[in-house]
Amino acid sequence: MTRETQEDWYLISNADQLDSPALVFYPDRIAENIVRLKNRINDITRLRPHVKTHKNPEITNMMIEAGIHKFKCATIAESEMLGICKAPDVLLAYQPVGPKIHRFIQLIRDYPDTKFSCLLDNAVSLKAIAAAAAEAGLTVDVFLDLNVGMNRTGIAPDENAVLLYQQISAEPGVNALGLHAYDGHIHDDSMDVRKEKWQLALDGILYVNQEIIAAGLPKPVVVAGGTPTFPLYAAFDDVECSPGTFILWDKGYQDAFAEQEYLTAALVISRVISISGSGTITVDLGHKSVAAENELPRRVYFLNAPQAKFIGQSEEHLVLDAGADNGFEIGDVLYGLPIHICPTVALYGTAALVQDQEISGEWKITARERKINI
């Protein structure tokens, strides 16, 4: 029986050795997800996975050993974790401002085995980053951040974006590498709807790209997309792709994006700590233990209690209606599949490892910290 069909793949025979709540990783399934990602693109050099999901050096090293050498991240700590792993190419998909500029410059100095770059979307930040780089005697690689519909950061993909790119190219202290576009607003269940919205985003990217080339500048590198649009960009040869959630997967993406068959590879473990009334149980999985940005019923799915209904959650407790005669007793273990794994991982300092259905060690979630050294 394969891991895809083995219904009890998640069970831990020595779960009594694991305090709860706990985050657990299944390394064999993580390794399989890396293989599946590689098989979904024509050229491995076009992969630039985002590490925000796992924030972990061991998983990063698994990808490096698998031949993936480009990465994307969102924080200085994630950047430094990648530098510690000697990842060859790292894009900080964030525009450094204030003290973060100097931290970024320090990263470049302290981790010479890694080629770092960052984002820009305005002339003020351009001048600040270029001045800091010049003062340090460095040239900083930058990508122009395009707003293709998420309306969070970035410049609209029009003639002003082309002008800003030309300004970057002419500014001492920085080097214009290319274009970055994150389309996190595109997460529809329907692939047809996703494709329609993706085409609008792609049209903007292509317009700016073509105008830059027409202006006589080198062809930009294009880094675009996340997990929901990965299959679309993967089929488009001139784009580096940045999925992140694929590495651990979660219930939200499992339900929404059936065309992407990755394995869920991380769970949260909790225990029944109280029983009150007919069918009502309380487990030790509060706001601090699983991502709570979604409405209450959309935070976690219990593999061994799939019919459980959510009554309430507080910082350290989750109250469930498990149904009459549910059979649960004080101390029983519940295996929770997070709806959103990325912020869930960030709630834990370590993840226990499960191999052959036994706890076999733990990995530190190194980049959950805001600061490692720099």
Q: Are 62 and 29 in contact (CB under 8 A)?
A: no
In a domain, 102, yes or no: yes
Neighbours of 200 (CB within 10 A): 12
pLDDT single digits (tens) 100-137: 999 999 999 999 999 999 999 999 999 999 999 999 99
| Cβ atoms 325, 357 nearer than 8 A | no
Measured CA to CA, the distance from residue 335 to residue 310 in angstroms comes to 15
In a domain, 253, yes or no: no
Q: Is residue 254 part of a domain?
A: no
The pLDDT assigned to 1 comes to 31
| Rg over CA atoms, the chain | 22
Determine the average pLDDT of the residues in 193-213: 97
Cβ–Cβ under 8 Å, residues 222 and 239: yes
* Residue 75 resides in a domain: yes
Residue 348 lies in a domain: no
Is 56 inside any structural domain?
Answer: yes
Strand locations in 21-162 (E):
22-25, 70-73, 89-92, 115-120, 140-146
Residue 151 corresponds to which tokens in the numbers above? 């309306």
Q: What is the pLDDT of residue 321?
A: 96
Residue 121 lies inside a defined structural domain of this protein: yes
Cα(310)–Cα(298) distance, rounded to whole angstroms?
Answer: 9
Residue 344: alpha-carbon gap to chain centroid: 11
Q: What is the pLDDT of residues 149-177, one digit of tens each?
A: 999 999 999 999 999 999 999 999 999 99
Q: What is the CATH number of the domain that holds 108?
A: 3.20.20.10
Average pLDDT score, the chain: 96
Q: Tell me which residue range forms the domain holding 114.
A: 27-244
At 19, is the secondary structure helix, strand, or coil?
coil
Does residue 154 belong to any structural domain of this protein?
yes
Domain count, the chain: 1
